[in-house]
Structure 1
Amino acid sequence: MVEHRPLGNALTHLILILGVALVLFPVYVAIVASTQGPGEFLRGTLPLLPGGHALDNYRLMWESGLSRSSAPPAGQMLWNSLIMALAITIGKLTISLLSAFAIVYFRFPFRLFFFWLIFITLMLPVEVRIIPTFRVVADLGMLNSFAGLSIPLIASATATFLFRQFFMTVPEEMLEAARVDGAGPFKFFKDILLPLSITNIAALFVIMFIYGWNQYLWPLLITTDPDYYTIVMGIQSMTADEGNTPWHLVMAAVVMAALPPVLVILCMQRLFVKGLTETEK
Structure 2
Amino acid sequence: MVENRPLAAILTHVVLIAGIVFLCFPVWVALVASTHPGEALQRSPIPMWFGDQGFANYSQLLREGVPAAGGVPLSTMMLNSLFMALGITVGKIAISLISAFAIVYFRFPFRMLFFWLIFATLMLPVEVRILPTYDVVASLGMLNSYPGLIIPLIASATATFLFRQFFMTIPDELVEAARIDRAGPLRFFWDILLPLSRTNIAALFIILFIYGWNQYLWPFLITTDQDLYTVVMGIQRMVNVGEGVPIWNYTMGTAILAMIPPVLVVLVMQRLFVKGLVESEK
TM-score clears 0.5 = yes
* Cα separation, 2, equivalents of 1:229 and 1:140: 21
Give the match's secondary structure for 2:127. coil
Give the match's secondary structure for 1:68. helix
Q: Structure 1 vs Structure 2: percent identity of aligned residues? A: 63
- Relative to the length of structure 1, the TM-score reads 0.97
* Cα separation, 1, equivalents of 2:84 and 2:67: 25
- 1:124–1:34 distance in 2 versus 1, CA, 3 Å: same
- Relative to the length of structure 2, the TM-score reads 0.97
2:56 corresponds to which residue?
56
Give the match's secondary structure for 2:36. coil
Deviation, 1:125, is: 0.2
CA RMSD, 1 decimal: 1.1
Matching of residue 103 in structure 1 with residue 118 in structure 2: no
2:181 corresponds to which residue?
181
* Cα separation, 2, equivalents of 1:71 and 1:149: 21
Any conservation in 2 of the 1:71–1:237 contact (CA below 8 Å)?
no
Deviation, 1:4, is: 2.4
1:26 corresponds to which residue?
26
| 5+ long unaligned stretches in structure 2 | none
Any conservation in 2 of the 1:71–1:229 contact (CA below 8 Å)?
no
Give the match's secondary structure for 1:244. coil
Give the count of matched residue pairs.
Answer: 281
Any conservation in 1 of the 2:64–2:72 contact (CA below 8 Å)?
yes
Task: Provide Cα deviations, 1:106-155, integer angstroms capped at 9, x if missing partner.
Answer: 11111111111100000000000000000000000000001111100000
Task: Provide Cα deviations, 1:27-65, integer angstroms capped at 9, x if missing partner.
Answer: 111111111123312423211111121111111100001
2:228 corresponds to which residue?
228
1:276 corresponds to which residue?
277
Matching of residue 125 in structure 1 with residue 125 in structure 2: yes
Q: Which amino acid aligns with 1:248?
A: N
Matching of residue 260 in structure 1 with residue 261 in structure 2: yes
* Cα separation, 1, equivalents of 2:69 and 2:166: 48
Any conservation in 1 of the 2:203–2:277 contact (CA below 8 Å)?
yes
Q: Which amino acid aligns with 1:251?
A: M
Any conservation in 1 of the 2:72–2:226 contact (CA below 8 Å)?
yes
* Cα separation, 2, equivalents of 1:5 and 1:235: 48
2:213 corresponds to which residue?
213
Q: Which amino acid aligns with 1:273?
A: V
